[in-house]
């Protein structure tokens, strides 16, 4: 009798396994319909734009060949025409100064706001308020912040510094607060139980434990600010190598000088990346 029951039991087990092995299909919800409709609409609009755009007499092949010729002139025939080598170095230092200043100001403000935004270091209400304000600041592009302050303070380095600092604060506050929230809450609770004050917890536990992340995120933002400072040199009249690039490309239309300036910018960017890698290695071995 027992032998006859074994096939039946085995069949039930197989049925259970088959039911468990079935792929669970997500229901078609209203949110999924909106997302799919939006994506399809964007694809159709893009295709429609390609077919209806007035290309005049330009062609894909001709435009590609012209682009390659221009790149060849820029990168294989660079020269100095409207400035000297040392003047270019001086303008690069101005751009670096803008990046350093905005990163420093933004980092200091973001450190305080990051402590207030971390839910394990403050109450939930304060954290949500700070995160909401920072999300708004971060949502506005850097260029728009610079243009907003350019209207108030006029075109120049002041508007560029304030605008870049605003976006740096939004970026670094989010990065710092997430780093603080990843800390082991047991350490914080132990310090609170021993009678440590809030500032003592910050300087004796939070900052030392998160210093690697703080340095890494700050240096990453510094690299971003250098690229933004190049663009703001032309858009906001902040000066630096970006303004020379704007003059060479839009005013003089000297492709060879554009290539020279591009080499300067690429050299500085590579040096910054190498410096960042060395700092990260030192922090890992420390």
- pLDDT of 259 > 70? The answer is yes
| DSSP H or E stretch at residue 63 | helix 60-76
Which band of pLDDT confidence, cut at 50, 70 and 90, is reported for residue 39?
Answer: very high
Q: What is the pLDDT of residue 3?
A: 46
Q: Judge residue 269's burial from the number of C-beta atoms within 10 Å of its C-beta, 0-12 exposed, 13-18 middle, 19 or more buried.
A: middle
Residues 92, 154, single domain; the answer is yes
Where a domain ends, among 71, 94, 111?
Answer: 71
- If phi > 0 it is left, if psi is from -120 to 50 it is alpha, else beta; for residue 121 that is alpha
Q: What is the pLDDT of residue 176?
A: 92
Q: What is the pLDDT of residue 59?
A: 75
- pLDDT of 201 > 50? The answer is yes
- pLDDT of 4 > 60? The answer is no
Residue length of the chain: 286
Which band of pLDDT confidence, cut at 50, 70 and 90, is reported for residue 147?
Answer: confident
Cβ count near 203 (within 10 Å): 10
Decide if 2 is inside a domain. no
Residues 237, 173, single domain; the answer is yes
Residues 188, 278, single domain; the answer is yes
- pLDDT of 1 > 50? The answer is no
Residues 145, 87, single domain; the answer is yes
Q: What is the pLDDT of residue 37?
A: 92
Calpha distance 270→248 (Å, rounded): 23
Which band of pLDDT confidence, cut at 50, 70 and 90, is reported for residue 278?
Answer: confident
Decide if 3 is inside a domain. no
Residues 127, 254, single domain; the answer is yes
Residues 153, 259, single domain; the answer is yes
Residues 59, 103, single domain; the answer is no
Task: Name which of 207, 109, 243 is nearest 164 in CA terms.
Answer: 109
Average pLDDT of the segment spanning 17-46: 76
Average pLDDT of the segment spanning 114-119: 89
Rg from Cα positions in the chain: 28
Residues 129, 260, single domain; the answer is yes
Cβ count near 83 (within 10 Å): 17
Average pLDDT, the chain: 82
Which range has the worst mean pLDDT, 111-115, 164-168, 192-196? 192-196
Which band of pLDDT confidence, cut at 50, 70 and 90, is reported for residue 173?
Answer: very high
Decide if 76 is inside a domain. no
Contact 180, 198 (CB under 8 A): no
Which range has the worst mean pLDDT, 101-110, 152-161, 178-187, 272-281? 152-161
Decide if 232 is inside a domain. yes
Cβ count near 182 (within 10 Å): 12
Decide if 9 is inside a domain. no
Task: Name which of 139, 140, 129, 215 is nearest 179 in CA terms.
Answer: 215
Residues 90, 59, single domain; the answer is no
Calpha distance 71→255 (Å, rounded): 8
Domain count of the fold of the chain:
2
Average pLDDT of the segment spanning 26-55: 85
Evaluated on CA atoms 137, 138, 140, 143, the torsion sign reads positive
Calpha distance 158→235 (Å, rounded): 13
Tens of pLDDT, residue by residue over 122-131, are: 888 998 999 9
Q: What is the pLDDT of residue 222?
A: 92
Residues 88, 148, single domain; the answer is yes
Decide if 6 is inside a domain. no
- pLDDT of 2 > 50? The answer is no
Average pLDDT of the segment spanning 145-169: 82
Q: Taking the chain, what is the end-to-end CA distance rounded to the nearest angstrom?
A: 72
Indicate the pTM of the whole model.
0.74
Which band of pLDDT confidence, cut at 50, 70 and 90, is reported for residue 22?
Answer: low
Residues 39, 176, single domain; the answer is no
Which domain covers residue 124, as residue numbers?
83-285
Residues 121, 160, single domain; the answer is yes
Average pLDDT of the segment spanning 234-254: 79
């Amino acid at each position: 009798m027992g032998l006859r029951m074994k096939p039946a039991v085995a069949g039930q087990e197989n049925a259970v396994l088959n039911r468990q092995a079935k792929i669970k299909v997500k229901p078609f919800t209203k949110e999924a319909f909106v997302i799919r409709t939006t994506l399809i609409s964007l694809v159709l609009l893009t295709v429609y734009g390609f077919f209806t755009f007035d290309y005049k007499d330009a062609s894909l092949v001709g435009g590609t060949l012209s682009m390659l010729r221009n790149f060849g002139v820029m990168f294989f025939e660079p020269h100095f025409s409207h400035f000297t080598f040392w003047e270019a170095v001086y303008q690069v230092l101005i751009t670096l100064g803008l990046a350093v200043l905005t990163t420093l100001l933004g980092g200091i403000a973001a450190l305080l706001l990051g402590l207030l935004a971390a839910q394990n270091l403050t109450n939930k209400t304060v954290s949500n308020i700070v995160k909401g304000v920072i999300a708004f600041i971060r949502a506005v592009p850097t260029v728009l912040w610079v243009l907003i302050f350019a209207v108030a303070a006029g075109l120049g380095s002041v508007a560029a510094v304030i605008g870049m600092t605003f976006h740096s604060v939004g970026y670094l506050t989010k990065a710092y607060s997430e780093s603080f929230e990843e800390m082991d809450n047991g350490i914080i609770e132990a310090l609170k139980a021993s009678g440590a004050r809030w500032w003592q917890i910050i300087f004796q536990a939070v900052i030392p434990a998160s210093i690697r992340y703080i340095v890494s995120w700050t240096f990453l933002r510094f690299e971003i600010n250098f690229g933004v400072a190049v663009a703001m040199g032309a858009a906001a009249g902040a000066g630096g190598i970006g303004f020379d690039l704007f003059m060479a490309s839009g005013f003089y239309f000297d492709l060879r000088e554009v290539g020279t300036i591009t080499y300067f910018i690429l050299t500085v960017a590579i040096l910054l990346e190498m410096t960042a890698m060395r700092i990260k290695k030192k922090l890992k071995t420390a």
